[in-house]
């Protein structure tokens, strides 16, 4: 059995990054790991959040890249891959800032793309980056979906809809039902009005060459 020992990562499991076949990521935190919203709740309660980081692992040799260092009250969200670069969402609860970074592993170059005040969002529930183009988005608890940056839009969506990606003026959501058997559908909405332009059963899978597989 051929085994490669991965150095520099502890107690976390590598997960694939959508849109590339050669990169994986690992999350790491000193706390019992939670999501961004849970980190926000810890800070709001008056406690200290130990901080989290994301490591990148390149296949097949298993080399580890660590663009960020763990810092108290700072949360680093899992990366998205778009047009040859990684993008990370960083939320600093001490500085009250939202920061978006690009990272180029070949040169190990980390650059800030945008900085926004944390007060710009109601809370961090489902706050995340999406592509393409790169967007900062948020799915609220009140059936609304927000694009926060680089433009500001809000549309109404269904209870179980989750954004997959954007293509021009079209937002592609996946939604699920149980009636009584579980199934999923793709819903295409207009980015400006939220109007449903198309809906069909099945799944869309993003391949590393930029092509989407439609499965029904």
What are the tokens at 152?
């500001």
Strand partners, 52: 29
Predicted confidence at residue 148, as pLDDT, reads 96
Predicted confidence at residue 187, as pLDDT, reads 95
Rounded mean pLDDT for each run of 10 residues along the chain, 216 residues in total: 84 88 90 84 92 94 94 96 93 97 94 97 94 90 89 91 91 89 93 94 86 89
Scanning the chain, the segments in alpha helix (DSSP H) are 36-44
Predicted confidence at residue 41, as pLDDT, reads 94
Is 93 in a helix, a strand, or coil?
A: coil
Predicted confidence at residue 145, as pLDDT, reads 93
Predicted confidence at residue 135, as pLDDT, reads 95
Predicted confidence at residue 32, as pLDDT, reads 67
The CA distance from 51 to 108, in Å, is: 22
Tell me if 47 sits within 8 A of 105, measured CB to CB.
no
What are the sequence ranges of the domains in the chain? 1-127, 160-216
pTM assigned to the model: 0.90
Q: Name the nearest CA neighbour of 74 among 123, 36, 126.
A: 36
Predicted confidence at residue 33, as pLDDT, reads 64
Tell me if 39 sits within 8 A of 47, measured CB to CB.
no
What are the tokens at 110?
């980390």
DSSP for residue 47 = P
The CA distance from 146 to 8, in Å, is: 36
């Amino acid at each position: 059995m051929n085994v490669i020992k991965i150095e520099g990562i502890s107690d976390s499991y590598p997960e694939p990054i959508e849109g590339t076949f050669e990169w994986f990521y690992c999350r790491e935190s000193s706390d019992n790991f939670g999501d961004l919203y849970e980190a926000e709740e810890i800070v709001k309660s008056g406690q200290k959040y130990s901080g989290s980081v994301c490591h990148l692992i390149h296949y097949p040799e298993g080399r580890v890249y660590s663009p960020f260092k763990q810092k108290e009250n700072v949360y680093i969200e899992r990366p998205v891959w778009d047009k040859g670069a990684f993008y990370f969402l960083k939320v600093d609860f001490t500085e009250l800032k939202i920061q978006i970074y690009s990272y180029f592993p070949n040169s190990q170059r980390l650059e800030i793309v945008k900085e926004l005040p944390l007060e710009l969002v109601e809370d961090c529930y489902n706050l995340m980056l999406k592509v393409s183009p790169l967007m900062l988005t948020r799915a609220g608890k009140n059936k609304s979906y927000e694009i926060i940056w680089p433009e500001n839009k809000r549309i109404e969506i269904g209870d179980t809809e989750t954004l997959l990606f954007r293509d021009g003026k079209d937002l592609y959501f996946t939604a699920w039902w149980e009636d009584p058997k579980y199934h999923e559908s793709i819903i295409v909405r207009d980015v400006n009005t939220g109007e449903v332009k198309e809906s069909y059963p099945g799944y869309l899978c993003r391949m590393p060459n930029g092509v989407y597989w439609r499965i029904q």
